[in-house]
Amino acid sequence: MSLFDEIVIGWIAVAIVLFPIQLFVTAPYGRHTRAGWGPSLPNRVGWFAMEIVSLAIFATLFLVGPAPKSAPMWVFFAFWVAHYINRSMIFPLRMRTTGKTIPLVIVASAICFNAVNAGLNGYYLGSLASYPVSWLWDIRFITGAAAFLAGVAMNISADEKLIALRTGGVAADYAIPRGGLFEFVSCPNHLGEIVEWFGFAIMCWNLPALSFAIWTASNLIPRALSHHAWYGKHFDDYPRDRAAVVPFML
Residue 170: the pLDDT is: 44
**Among 36, 3, 29, residue whose Cα is nearest residue 223:** 29
Q: Is 101 exposed, middle or buried (0-12, 13-18, 19+ CB in 10 A)?
A: middle
Could you tell me if 81 and 55 are in contact, meaning their C-beta atoms sit under 8 angstroms apart? Answer: yes
- Asked which of 29-33, 197-201, 214-218 is least confident by mean pLDDT, the reply is 29-33
Could you tell me if 117 and 87 are in contact, meaning their C-beta atoms sit under 8 angstroms apart? Answer: no
Q: Is 94 exposed, middle or buried (0-12, 13-18, 19+ CB in 10 A)?
A: exposed
Residue 34: the pLDDT is: 75
Residue 167: the pLDDT is: 60
| pLDDT 10s digits, 74-129 | 999 999 999 999 999 998 888 776 678 888 999 999 999 999 999 999 999 999 99
Residue 26: the pLDDT is: 85
Measured distance CA(250)–CA(242) in Å, rounded: 9
What residues does each domain of the chain span?
3-234
The pTM of the full predicted model, rounded to 2 decimals, is 0.94
Provide the β-strand partners of residue 243: 185
40's enclosing H/E stretch is strand 40-42
Q: Predicted confidence band at 43 (pLDDT cuts at 50, 70, 90)?
A: confident
